[in-house]
Structure 1
Amino acid sequence: MTDSPVFHWTDADGADHAVRWRSEAGVQPPKRAVPADDRLTADAAYRLACEGTALVWQGDFQNARQLVQAMARRVEHKPKKAKAAAAAGIDAFNLHRLAQSQRARTLGMLLIPLDADYAIPLRRAPDVRAACEEAYGPGGAPSVVSLRELLGLVGAHEWRKKGVPIPALGGAPIHPYYGVFSPVRGEYVELVARARLPATSLAFDIGTGTGVLAAVLASRGVERVVATDQDARALACARENVARLGHASRVDVVEADLFPVGRAPLVVCNPPWVPARPSAPIEYAIYDPDSRMLRGFLAGLAAHLEPGGEGWLILSDFAEHLGLRSRDTLLQWIDEAGLVVLGRDDIRPAHPKSADADDPLHAARRAEVTSLWRLGARA
């Protein structure tokens, strides 16, 4: 308990409590908190949350779910949404991120108590013990967590149980862990599944995540794949997925900062595509501060390619449409790394947000193209 933040609050009977504070996003515990139950109205809850007062729920769990949904509706109806919709490019992105941050802060003020074994001591509460153990590890002490985060854990647990079917794997599922990006956006997988392989002896998969691209390469006949990642959850997730798919003997999942030791005739990387700071673990697959992973991959690629080998960079141009990075900048980085473009295969995303005209970033999403850049070392 001493290694984790402690949350202090006083219940309706005047008893003081000090329990472990849980936040995967690294949010600090609120300084003000009050007990709350079914008598609290949505308007009052929303006002308290906006003022920075946490609500420790003591009532019916299902009513807490309804309350946070009502609070979310009040967030969505704030006047500033019209201002965000009128902005464009980088201004729209910054306003969108600010709105997301404020929404997360407000909705994160409704807190749920957890017993030492992750049981919820509330009426009509679901059994979330498995979901919490998958995300947090063994329990051991009472704690509190925001209902918003808890619902995210439960959703991730369900995805992990049922998996995400991957057409490129014959419909076989990939089972994402909590905090590891789920391959629900399948266009990058399709690009790797249809590109011509330069060789089948060895491939590196940089930043493997769930291991989906490593599995696709193995299923296409690549004899050995070395898949790397730095995140402990991603490493465990990828190992389980490749084993479940029958590729454990051909795919080595190793911990590494980008590249493993040696060279390969094929090096694949699907880095985060937006150069901005992530605010939660799951966002590390989307946001790449200062394009660090992208630039690191490009800078080290030539030194890890066998003669005549190819690097496959799978990257969305979403950041370009937001004004966060230009195409000229990307091409300059490729040139400065001693690389040449051998070819490019494009695909348009088909995810629901690309067709949502109410999305404040709709213009950029509608224009977005994901590309597989085939790169080689300059002679």
Structure 2
Amino acid sequence: MTDFPILTWTDPAAGTTHTARWRSEAGNPPPKRVTIADDRTTADAAYRQACEGIALLWRGDFQNARQLLQAMSRRADRKPRKAATSPLDAFNLHRQAQSQRARTLGMLLIPLQADYSIDLRRAPDVHEACSEAYGEGEEPSVVSLRELLGLIGAHEWRKKGVEIPALDGERIHPHYGVFSPVRGEYVDLVAKAPLPSQALAFDIGTGTGVLAALLAKRGVKRIVATDQDLRALACARENLSRLGLQSQVELREADLFPEGRAPLVICNPPWLPARPSSPIERAVYDPDSRMLRGFLDGLAAHLEPNGEGWLIMSDFAEHLGLRSRDALLAMIEAAGLRVAGRDDIKPKHPKASDASDPLYQARVAEVTSLWRLKVK
């Protein structure tokens, strides 16, 4: 019995039925209806079938498939937006539109051989990109072209890395499925905040390891960095080794805190209390503020006397109506903590200046803060 989903389709020309492993990092089930598509398939026909829930297994030129996906994307983007009545309504409509768009564009499928080669004209070599995301191949599989292009893009990001000015221009190389530190304002906050101690720090939910690396660069002698995602731990380990900081940072698989106490405990949890629709979104969406609450509720038990907990949070959720400032302060109060100080910074990412973005009003008002928390 297999432990992964199976995609089934019929080749009408040969009258044969085929099966292959179905791959979806978002956990989407395999399409129930599949038709064969090739270079003769028009964008209008492909988009219509995708909207009806019919997947198109591509048998033509690979580059033509990319062009077809772009044409389908343009058709999806032409769909009129519903008018929002509030920031929260705008957020919900935006998420709904994103989900529908992803579902439709995910209906163009590419077959992969067991070694991740693609038996299509002008197909690129995706072996390394697929191996980084999926592990070594074992059997033929099928994946959406949209996901495959995401893997290729992530592979390029991993090779190139993201320059971090606070690390003296060093680069952090994100792995597939690990959130990239492209928004550098939160890193700048950690780079400038006064350290309560240089002896020991806990980095909760380390991700790429960027904040652990920064603390090490700032002279913290020992950092224990945790994450429950094995991809994140592998990514952090590689980055810290590349930076020559592996002797200062101990990585542990854990849901939130390691054992013991530290004079500094730092956490940059997901900022929006909503349900993620894919693994990569877990760095942005925190259902019911689970990680935020867990960090606050457990902080007092893991701080040394006079120690500080650094909570790095955007107030984007507040401007969207997803969580109020009073609710955040109530969580801090209920956890037996007090606010010793707060450092703020305005985001500089492109969406903050894009007036066509459906969430522009919330983005332009957004502030990212480093809350310095102490036990009452």
Tell me if both proteins adopt one fold, taking TM over 0.5 as the criterion: yes
In structure 2, C-alpha distance between the alignment counterparts of 1:13 and 1:371, rounded to whole Å = 61
State the one-letter code of the partner of 2:63. Q
Q: In the alignment, what sits opposite 1:114?
A: 112
SS of residue paired to 1:74: helix
Q: In the alignment, what sits opposite 2:3?
A: 3
Q: What is the correspondence of 1:69-84 to structure 2 with a 5 Å cutoff?
A: 69-79=70-80, 81=81, 83-84=82-83
Q: State the Cα deviation string for residues 312-350 of structure 1 (Å, max 9, x = none).
A: 000000000000000000000000000000000000110
Structure 2: which 5+ runs fail to align?
Answer: none
In structure 2, C-alpha distance between the alignment counterparts of 1:47 and 1:372, rounded to whole Å = 47
In structure 1, C-alpha distance between the alignment counterparts of 2:67 and 2:348, rounded to whole Å = 31
Q: In the alignment, what sits opposite 1:56?
A: 57
SS of residue paired to 1:168: helix
State the one-letter code of the partner of 2:41. L
Q: State the Cα deviation string for residues 238-257 of structure 1 (Å, max 9, x = none).
A: 11111110100000010111
Instruction: Report the identity percentage.
Output: 76
Residue 16 of structure 1 deviates from its aligned partner by 1.3
1:299 pairs, out of 297, 300, 303, with: 297
Q: In the alignment, what sits opposite 2:36?
A: 35
In structure 2, C-alpha distance between the alignment counterparts of 1:272 and 1:371, rounded to whole Å = 13
Q: In the alignment, what sits opposite 2:187?
A: 189
State the one-letter code of the partner of 1:177. H
SS of residue paired to 1:372: strand
State the one-letter code of the partner of 2:24. S
Paired residues in the alignment total 375
1:201 pairs, out of 199, 202, 211, with: 199
Residue 15 of structure 1 deviates from its aligned partner by 2.0
Residue 89 of structure 1 deviates from its aligned partner by 1.1
Residue 10 of structure 1 deviates from its aligned partner by 1.3
State the one-letter code of the partner of 1:259. F
SS of residue paired to 1:311: strand
TM score, norm. by length of structure 2: 0.99
Q: What is the correspondence of 1:1-379 to structure 2 with a 5 Å cutoff?
A: 2-11=2-11, 12-79=13-80, 81=81, 83-84=82-83, 86-378=84-376
In structure 1, C-alpha distance between the alignment counterparts of 2:151 and 2:92, rounded to whole Å = 27
In structure 2, C-alpha distance between the alignment counterparts of 1:228 and 1:2, rounded to whole Å = 32
TM score, norm. by length of structure 1: 0.98
SS of residue paired to 2:266: strand
State the one-letter code of the partner of 1:42. A
SS of residue paired to 2:374: strand
SS of residue paired to 2:181: coil
State the one-letter code of the partner of 1:4. F
In structure 2, C-alpha distance between the alignment counterparts of 1:334 and 1:292, rounded to whole Å = 14
SS of residue paired to 1:235: helix
In structure 1, C-alpha distance between the alignment counterparts of 2:217 and 2:86, rounded to whole Å = 42
Q: State the Cα deviation string for residues 64-96 of structure 1 (Å, max 9, x = none).
A: 0011111011111012x2x24x44311001000
SS of residue paired to 2:189: helix
Q: CA RMSD in A?
A: 0.8
